[in-house]
Amino acid sequence: MRQPLRWPWLDFDVDDVVAPAIAVRVDVTETKAEVPSHWHRKGQLVFALGGGVTCRVPGGLWMVPPHCGVWVPSRMEHSNIATANARIFFVYIEPGAAELPDRCCTLSISPLLRELIIELSDCAPEDRRCGFLGKVLLAELPLMPVQQLHLPISAEPRLRRIAEALADDPADRSTLAEWAKRVALSESSLARLVMKETGLTFGRWRQQLHLIVALRELASGASVQRVSGDLGYESVTAFITMFKKALGKPPARYLSDIAQNGGSAFVA
């Protein structure tokens, strides 16, 4: 197992802090930032107020759009990749301090919870105000709706190879038959394997990756035109149609609703 990570921008270890909940704010510069695989004794909520963050855990990829958070349970190995100019908050929660899921998940973040996280990040851990804010935060966080915006990744080596290749080059439009040939399977065998391991068809699985990448890039300020091209769509219209069919709204309205409603715009 990987060792716990001591953040280079902190002068203390978050796991050593005696407090039910603490928050740390990180502002990413003009280039993207990556935190290598690690784990914490405490559970961690990754919340993006601006830009986007992608969390990789053993079972999948989780997107952290603005005004939403990804919950990473205690001792779960994970890594984070943030877009340029992202404004990120990490909330560290003592195991058992709140009734939170024992699995990784995306949570909507209400306006009240958003402000609590921001205020908590401005408090020193030993400050009495930190304890008060933490108690209110821990009462609110379990009430947040769980959203399913992630890409399931199997430990099966052939599927992991495909997932990593698509994550590196999401514009790759290779067919199921072409991928099957690369991993030495028949087309039907690969289709069954994807369904068995992820619960999705190959086309839906790849579309889910496209949605994750699209939301991350749109959140960082990329235009719809640029994102559709980067994902290999023949036209902006085709990309918008896919996005609206999957999430119920076109990209601009979807992101606007997230900003206004604290993440409740998600469609499972």
Q: What is the pTM of this model?
A: 0.75
Let me know whether 68 and 84 are in one domain: yes
Q: Measured between alpha carbons, how far is 114 from 120 in angstroms, rounded to an integer?
A: 10
Q: Measured between alpha carbons, how far is 182 from 190 in angstroms, rounded to an integer?
A: 11
- 188-to-144, 153, 165, 201 alpha-carbon distances in Å: 40, 19, 20, 11
Domain final residue pick, 147, 178, 206: 147
Range of the domain at 221: 153-261
Q: Measured between alpha carbons, how far is 172 from 168 in angstroms, rounded to an integer?
A: 9
**Residue pLDDT tens, the chain, 268 long:** 444 444 444 556 788 888 899 999 988 876 677 788 889 999 999 998 877 788 888 878 787 766 679 999 999 999 888 877 788 899 999 999 999 999 999 888 889 999 999 999 998 888 889 999 999 999 999 999 887 677 887 778 899 899 888 888 889 999 999 999 999 999 999 999 999 998 999 999 999 889 988 887 887 788 999 999 999 999 999 999 999 998 899 998 988 877 666 555 544 3
Let me know whether 36 and 130 are in one domain: yes
Domain final residue pick, 119, 147, 175: 147
Let me know whether 143 and 20 are in one domain: yes
Total domains, the chain: 2
